[in-house]
Structure formats: C-alpha cells, structure tokens
Structure 1
Amino acid sequence: MDLRVVRETVGALWAREALAGLSEFVRIPALSPAFDSDWARRGQLHAAVEQVRSWLAERPIEGARTEIVELPGRTPVLLLDVPARSAATEETVVVYGHLDKQPAAGEWSPGLDPWTPVLKDDRLYGRGAGDDGYAAFAAAVALEASQAAGGSHARTVVLLETGEESGSADLPAYLDHLAPRLGTVGLVVCLDTAGADYERLWLATSLRGIAFADLTVRVLDAGVHSGHGSGIVASSFRVVRQLLDRIEDSATGRTLLPECGAEPPADRLAEVRTAAAEGFLTPTLPLAEGVRTVTDDPVELALNNTWRTTLSVTGAEGLPPLQDAGNVLRPYTSLKLSFRLPPTVDAAAALRAITRVLTSDVPYGARVRIDRAEAASGWNAPPMAGWLTSALDTVSAEVFGKPWRALGLGGTIPFLGQFGHAYPRAQFVVTGPRGPGNNAHVPDEWLHLPQTERVSEALAHILHAHATAA
C-alpha cells in the first residue's frame, strides 16, 4: 500500500467531500429516541440515515453496497458492505458508528447553533459532528484511500445504528439478525471514543459498567411538625444514610459489597502507569475554589475512575427547596443512586446485591421501595494480537509521529459490551478523534478536523494490516 497516496487521498477527500457531507448531517436534528418519543413520525432519524446513505452510495468504493435495515418497532440501521480486496483472511471487519444525536442542551455561544455547521480554526461545530456523525465519513474515506493506494482489506461492514444515545437498546436484535450475513467477525473498529490529546492515536481498552436505581425510604404517611414528631420517628434521611453505609464507606468512598468490586488486570495496570508517567490520566475538572481531589496519586485517581466502583447520588425527591422548607419531619426521602462498576463486574449481579442490602432488615421497619432499577455491564478489551500491536506501532510512527497510548474510560458505553458478547474472538480497536474540550453532549460540540484525518488514515493502515496478517 502506497502510504503517500493514502495520506494525500484522505486529505483530499476530507477537504472536498467528506466535510461537506458531514456538514449536511449536522443540519438534521436527528434526536435519539430517549429525547424524542415521537421519532418515528417526525422522521428526522430516517432523514439522517438517508442523507448518509446517499453520500456513501456515491463513493467510488469497489463493490460497495448500502442498505437500510429496519426491524419492526426498532430504530433503523445503515450498512455499508464492502467486499474483500486482496485479503489473506475470510474474516469480516465491522466498523461501528451511530447517527442519532443528543439534544441542543442549552444555549450555544454567539455565532454557533446546534443544527448549523460552522467551520472555524480546524474545527467543525454542530451537534453530531463529533458524536458521532464523523464515523461514517471516516470509514468510507479510509476504504477509498486504501483502494486508491493499492491496499488490501477484508470484507468490511460499516454498521451505523440510530439508538446509541439511548443506550443501544435495539443493537443486540440487529447483531442477532445480521449474524448470518456478517459471518466470522475478526476485527471490530468502534469510532466513538475520545483520547487525552490531539497528537497521537488513543485506544480505549476498558469501560465501566453501570447500575442505577431510585431508592425511596418512607417513615410517615404525611409530614408532621418536627417539634411534634422528631425523636419519636426516625428521619427518613437518617435511615437512608444507614442503608447507604452498608454499601459505601463514606470516609473513603470504598464500596463494601464484594459483588461490586474487581481488581484491574496486569495489562490495564501497566497502561495506567505508563499514562501516569506522561501526565495523561485524569480529565481537567472545574473544581470549586479550595477543593482537592480524593488523592494526590495520579495512578490511584485513574484507577478510581476506571476500575473501582463509585456511588453518586444524581437526584432527589421529598426534599423541598430551601426557601420553602419549614420545620417539618418529612414523610419520605427518595434518591437516585448511580453506581459505576469495574469493567469485569457482572452488573446484574451487582444490582441484585445492592437491592438486597437496601431492602433487608431496614432500620425501624421503615418502608423501602426500589424503582427503575437497571444495569449494564462494562467491557474489557481482549489481549491484543501481535499483528495489531505491530500495526499500531507503524501507524504511530507513520501518521502521528508519537507512540499510541491506551486508557480506560470511566463512563459506560453499552454497545461495546454487546459487541464483546457477540464477537468474543474478535480484536477490538476502539478509538476516535475526540479529545479534551470537544463538548460532546453539551453546547458548542465540535470535531477536530486534523485529528479526524489522521484517524481516517490510521484506519486504512489497520484494515490493510488485518487483511495481510495471515
């Protein structure tokens, strides 16, 4: 494969055509179903799928076919199916992206708008540009550049779902439906994560799982004057505190339930220590004046954020606003509990353990209710094959000029666990051009275009390496 041709083709395609196509995609308010319950009637998700399908269909990629697949009652999926080219393997490569979007999420800066593409200082602003509309265009650019440069690739299927921002609820059904067509999947490339800078290739190698539930503790059928009832009936808030103390050591944040914990494997510890030595571990956070992080050890901070369980209270009911709060012993307290779980923990088992300790032997016989309890397991990348390590080293030298790095992510992306379950023998490359300050999910979302070109170029290298590894 002619590396010079790959680079020139990638640059020309992004400048000429991919940027224009992605800009048109930004204009479509294709909200994910979690934010638009009437999505099917409004047709914006379908409009986004059709816009990207039309762009992909015009690409001169040898043998490529586009298809929209829509199972009854589910969000649509767009496929770009490209036959193998001079490949030494019969495996299939699946390249993942998604076309659904978050809502505007507040006021954008002057001159910017969520549904108006704005190109400024090597950035494309607009909702969906970085999360995750670029993926379709980057995948097509990589395939086109590879073919133009005489490169090889296995059969490659670009799979673009439209429910990722709603938890990818429909994706397992599509993976089952498409399994006979996809055959043996040997490589999964997920273009939907972020790195710690815009200078090198970043791979995500783990994501935490999640369990969440609404906890309600009730002690009265109606509120009473606190002077009349306090000391006779326990405060519902005090009962909540006692219950949570069964799960978390409030002094250290350590989780006390064995079902919720797991030790990081040796390769992940090595990644953390390498990143710590280079200063790439924890995001910059808007700490209030005088507030310290929970430890000064960067390795411990990274492990806390990626391989240890954390409990966050993300909502509450039964507590009136301060200006309306009188001297009342309140009848109940409700809290939304959000647990981030280590990547290898069985999230369903963790949620069962959490529910058990919150509802058993409750102090004072208080009434406890658990509502809207859900869980999703995390993901830990399989051991990396030699051909992939070699390819990443080559990409880092030829494309980025700096060594690639891997990191765990503290969030939860359900589709990765679903892919890991569907393709247990596949190699995974989980990457993307997003980095610090890209503003995914919040106002002023933007995509770093030079890094997007480099990731597209890297993908062409990786596809060629996979196809010729045998």
Structure 2
Amino acid sequence: MVRVETATVTDTVRARWAEDVLPSLSELVAIPALSPGFDPEWAASGHLDAAVEHVRAWLVSREIPGAAVDVVRLPGRSPVLLLDVPATPGGEDAGTVLMYGHLDKQPPVGGWSDGLGPWTPVVRDGRLYGRGSADDGYAGYAATTAIEAVRAAGGAHARTVVLLETGEESGSPDLPAYLEHLTGRLGRVSLVICLDSGGNDYDRLWLTTSLRGMAQVHVTARVLDSAQHSGLASGVVPSSFRILRTLLDRIEDSATGAILLPECNVEIPADRLAETRATAEAAPGSVAGAFPRHGSTRTVVDDEVELLLNNSWRPTLSVIGASGMPEPAEAGNVLRAATTLALSFRLPPTADSAAALAAIEKTLTTDVPYGATVEVTGTEAADGWNAPELAPWLASALERVSDEVFGSPWRSTGLGGSIPFMGLLGRTYPEAQFLVTGALGPDSNAHVPDEWLHLDQAQRVTEAIARVLHAHAEQ
C-alpha cells in the first residue's frame, strides 16, 4: 500500500491556491463567458472560447507528467475542455475517475454591491467575488490541484479525466452527445467527482445525494388579434392573464405551492427522510436563513425538515419570466391581446421528467377557458439524480477526511438545483461511485448579485478530493 503524506497534501494545496489558482481564477472571472442559452451568438462573441483557452493554457502550464490537454468540439455545439492524467504506478487497474465542472456562466444581473461587479474579481475577507467564481469556475482548478497534491505527497490515483463543459447553465444540452463521443476514450468510469455543488455551512464537507430534475415551458394565452380599449372590451373578452391564472391553478395549489399533477410527485425514500432530519439537526436554520427575505416575509413553512424536503424531494413551480405586459409607468388602459409566462418546474430526483412535461403540456392546453388560443413553446426536460449507496472504501475515506481536514463530521443533503449531467452519468455508469460536493454555501449568491467563493472552504474541498483520489486507487 502506498502511503500518502497528508501534511504534504495540505501544504501543496495551500501553496498552489495562493500562488497559481487564485490569480488565474480571478482572470477567468473577468471573462463574460455567458452560457449559450443567454448568448445565442456565443461562437461569434468568443467569450466561451476565451474562457476555454484561458483554462487550457493554465492546465498546460502545470506540466503534469504524461497529461494530455484537449479541446473537443462537435459541430454546432459549445466546446468541452479535457485534462487526461494517466494513473500513477499501482492505480492502473482502478478504472477512470471522471471529475466534472463547467466554465459557462449565468447572466450578470444588476444590483451588485459597491465596489463589486460580475466581471470584476475582488478578493475581500477570504472571499473571491465575481460571476463564475463559485459556480463553477473554481472546479477545474480544484480538481487539477488535487491531482498535483496527491502526486506531490507520494500518493496514488487512478487514471483521471477532468471534464469542463460550457453549457451547464443552459441545461447541458450538448453533453449527451459529448459523452457518447467520448465513451470509448473514458473507458470504465469507476468514480465520478462533481464539484458543482456545496452544502449548508462552511464547517464541514457536504455531499449532495440527490438533485432535482427540471421541466420548463413558455405558455402563451391569446384572446385578441390586436389589443383593445380596456373599458370597451373588458367583461366581453376574457383577460389573457386570467386564463393563464386559471390554467396554473390546475397545476399548482396557489395557497401552499403544492404541485397537483401526479406525474410530478414521487414517494420520498425512507433513507432520504432520515438524511434530511440529520441535515436539519447538523445545520439548524441554514435553509431559512440563507435568503434575504424582505421585511416580514416568512418561509413557506416553519419546520426546517419540511423546508429541506420542499427544496429537494418535492416539485415546485417558479414563474421566471413574462412578456406581453408593459412596465406600469407605460401601461395604458388596454386589454392586452396575449400574455406569455415562462414556467420553471423543479422535479423530484426520481421523477420521470418526460412524463411530467407531457402532463404539464396537456394540462395547459386541454379544455382551455373560453376557447382561447394557448400555445406551449420552449419546452425542456431533464431527469434528476439519486446517489447510489456509498461503497465502504469511500465511506471510510470520508470519515478520515472529515476528521483530519474539517474537524467536523461530513453530512449529506439533497440539492434543490439541477445538474442534468449527473442523471446522465448515473444511467451511463451504474456501477460507479459518485461524490458530488463543492465549496458553495447557502449564501454564496450563485446566479444573483455578489456571487462569491469561500476560499478556505474551496481549499479544504480540494484537499479532501486529493485524499479521496488516493483512497480510490488503494481500495
């Protein structure tokens, strides 16, 4: 058995982050690499390619013995960046470790605090501010540094491939094609490590054990060929907004937020119920206190366990956009011809997203009030993911890491967001172990103003991954 010098792992991670990672990651933050869903002209704008090239050059500069760095491009799809590192002696038979992250970003949005901005990297009080710092620009750096640290400490690792995609924030539409294209090259994947997640505090290592699926639609209700005077037409022609409100009432209980369609609901597994109770006990108040609720706004319920279940194993609906409505200051006395709403559904991890989407579409378009025209466009669906049981070697490694690196026991939780790639990988590699973790915390502001990366937590997560790589090779 190869011995890994844990002190060397720690020292290497700390030195690499300070000297190599933070400067390059800060430069990555400055690149406005919007995901293709937010920049349809991404190929012409060149920002995604600039992000890929920036990280590619950094990976090449690491000069890891035997490593190959490639940019893979399929026609019409945003690129994938690969770092392929051969196994150390003794780790050749352990299969492939696939480590995942992404380089694309959410839109900048307004409202950043004074001195901060989406493309302005700022280090302040142990935090790196800027869009893509925590979600998920640091991941490729952390993964590579973990490989370097375990090698510097005399440890072992299996063949390891770091895959950085550029479409995650758009739902990873291109990744299935890339996975099919790379299947032969990846070989037998025995461990998947995803760094696009986090937990409920910065005191311990958090494992994500489930991810919700998703379904999205744009629904338009049209009642007129052209807008009309509201005083003359109201009471004669139905409101397009009221029609949509009626249709939504078939899907969601507006008093509780409960989704009424059976296809969108599942029975919550007993082990996830127990896990949720343990999570609430480990980090009390972390969910309720994570969001800047305005004034006297209360959470949906008071019970922390129920909040966690609502956010991980129950479906939800968010109206994330609308058109056909002028700004109030510009609104005339007009009965509008049409209203469009963008609906985003989060689905339980084990729900069939295709069946859920079909049920949503049918409910919105069947027996429409007043015979109005209803059109559903922009549909999208992706399954969630429920982690397999931890193998003994991984459970043991996590116990050691928690004690020696974090000084607190690791905990697991379901994540309310979606990473479609994980469900795809779970189906493709059913025998693999999965470690979904990361440095995001409940207040890291992913997708919103003032996104920031907790630098100490990111370094601890990097060290933990290095030790898990060694344990995987030695099992």
TM-score, with normalisation over the residues of structure 1? 0.93
Q: Deviations over 1:345-367 (max 9, x none)?
A: 11111111111122112233222
User: Do residues 409 (structure 1) and 420 (structure 2) align?
Assistant: no
User: Do residues 254 (structure 1) and 258 (structure 2) align?
Assistant: yes
The one-letter code sitting in structure 1 at the alignment partner of 2:41 is D
User: Do residues 285 (structure 1) and 291 (structure 2) align?
Assistant: yes
One of 387, 395, 399 as aligned partner of 1:389: 395
Instruction: Specify whether residues 32 and 316 from structure 1 end up closer, same or farther in structure 2 by C-alpha distance, changes over 3 A only.
Output: closer
CA deviation after TM superposition for structure 1 residue 150, in Å: 1.6
User: Do residues 66 (structure 1) and 72 (structure 2) align?
Assistant: no
User: Do residues 221 (structure 1) and 225 (structure 2) align?
Assistant: yes
Counterpart Cα distance in 1 of 2:228 and 2:20: 67
One of 208, 214, 222 as aligned partner of 2:212: 208
Instruction: Specify whether residues 447 and 226 from structure 1 end up closer, same or farther in structure 2 by C-alpha distance, changes over 3 A only.
Output: closer
User: Do residues 267 (structure 1) and 260 (structure 2) align?
Assistant: no
CA deviation after TM superposition for structure 1 residue 167, in Å: 2.1
CA deviation after TM superposition for structure 1 residue 156, in Å: 0.5
Instruction: Specify whether residues 251 and 55 from structure 1 end up closer, same or farther in structure 2 by C-alpha distance, changes over 3 A only.
Output: closer
CA deviation after TM superposition for structure 1 residue 20, in Å: 2.5
Counterpart Cα distance in 2 of 1:403 and 1:52: 33
One of 100, 105, 119 as aligned partner of 1:101: 105
Secondary structure at the counterpart of residue 388 of structure 1: helix
Counterpart Cα distance in 2 of 1:311 and 1:248: 7
Counterpart Cα distance in 2 of 1:252 and 1:336: 20
One of 164, 176, 182 as aligned partner of 2:168: 164
Counterpart Cα distance in 1 of 2:209 and 2:378: 30
Counterpart Cα distance in 2 of 1:316 and 1:167: 20
Q: Deviations over 1:341-389 (max 9, x none)?
A: 1111111111111111221122332222212222222222122212111
Residue 424 (structure 2) aligns with: 418
User: Do residues 40 (structure 1) and 43 (structure 2) align?
Assistant: yes
Of 116-125 and 353-362, more deviation after overlay is shown by 116-125
| Contact in 2 for aligned 1:124/1:448 (Cα 8 Å) | yes
Counterpart Cα distance in 2 of 1:251 and 1:157: 48
Counterpart Cα distance in 1 of 2:249 and 2:203: 44
Counterpart Cα distance in 2 of 1:21 and 1:269: 41
Secondary structure at the counterpart of residue 200 of structure 2: coil
Residue 19 (structure 2) aligns with: 16
Q: Deviations over 1:197-243 (max 9, x none)?
A: 11111111112112121222233334445554444444333333332
Residue 137 (structure 2) aligns with: 133
| Contact in 2 for aligned 1:97/1:136 (Cα 8 Å) | yes
Instruction: Specify whether residues 161 and 227 from structure 1 end up closer, same or farther in structure 2 by C-alpha distance, changes over 3 A only.
Output: closer
Instruction: Specify whether residues 228 and 30 from structure 1 end up closer, same or farther in structure 2 by C-alpha distance, changes over 3 A only.
Output: closer
Counterpart Cα distance in 2 of 1:52 and 1:321: 42
| Contact in 2 for aligned 1:65/1:81 (Cα 8 Å) | yes
| Contact in 2 for aligned 1:211/1:350 (Cα 8 Å) | yes
| Contact in 1 for aligned 2:290/2:443 (Cα 8 Å) | no
Gaps of 5+ in 2: none
Residue 196 (structure 2) aligns with: 192
Q: Percent identity at matched positions?
A: 63
Of 418-427 and 256-265, more deviation after overlay is shown by 418-427
| Contact in 2 for aligned 1:318/1:334 (Cα 8 Å) | yes
CA deviation after TM superposition for structure 1 residue 31, in Å: 2.8
| Contact in 2 for aligned 1:204/1:430 (Cα 8 Å) | yes
| Contact in 2 for aligned 1:272/1:281 (Cα 8 Å) | no
Counterpart Cα distance in 1 of 2:250 and 2:106: 36
Instruction: Specify whether residues 222 and 43 from structure 1 end up closer, same or farther in structure 2 by C-alpha distance, changes over 3 A only.
Output: closer
Counterpart Cα distance in 1 of 2:28 and 2:337: 50
Alignment of 1:44-59 (within 5 A): 44-59=47-62
CA deviation after TM superposition for structure 1 residue 136, in Å: 1.5
Q: Deviations over 1:87-146 (max 9, x none)?
A: 273310001111223343335444434334333222223333222221121112111111
Of 196-205 and 364-373, more deviation after overlay is shown by 364-373
Instruction: Specify whether residues 418 and 228 from structure 1 end up closer, same or farther in structure 2 by C-alpha distance, changes over 3 A only.
Output: same
User: Do residues 154 (structure 1) and 148 (structure 2) align?
Assistant: no
Of 324-333 and 370-379, more deviation after overlay is shown by 324-333
Counterpart Cα distance in 1 of 2:326 and 2:47: 39
CA deviation after TM superposition for structure 1 residue 420, in Å: 2.2
User: Do residues 26 (structure 1) and 25 (structure 2) align?
Assistant: no
Instruction: Specify whether residues 267 and 88 from structure 1 end up closer, same or farther in structure 2 by C-alpha distance, changes over 3 A only.
Output: farther
Counterpart Cα distance in 1 of 2:131 and 2:228: 49
The one-letter code sitting in structure 1 at the alignment partner of 2:83 is L
One of 368, 378, 381 as aligned partner of 2:374: 368
| Contact in 2 for aligned 1:206/1:378 (Cα 8 Å) | yes
Report how many residues are paired: 469
Instruction: Specify whether residues 294 and 388 from structure 1 end up closer, same or farther in structure 2 by C-alpha distance, changes over 3 A only.
Output: same
User: Do residues 315 (structure 1) and 318 (structure 2) align?
Assistant: no
Secondary structure at the counterpart of residue 432 of structure 1: coil
Of 192-201 and 220-229, more deviation after overlay is shown by 220-229
Counterpart Cα distance in 1 of 2:234 and 2:23: 66
Counterpart Cα distance in 1 of 2:104 and 2:348: 27
| Contact in 2 for aligned 1:175/1:422 (Cα 8 Å) | no
Instruction: Specify whether residues 43 and 199 from structure 1 end up closer, same or farther in structure 2 by C-alpha distance, changes over 3 A only.
Output: same
The one-letter code sitting in structure 1 at the alignment partner of 2:46 is G
One of 120, 126, 129 as aligned partner of 2:124: 120
Of 151-160 and 277-286, more deviation after overlay is shown by 277-286
Gaps of 5+ in 1: none
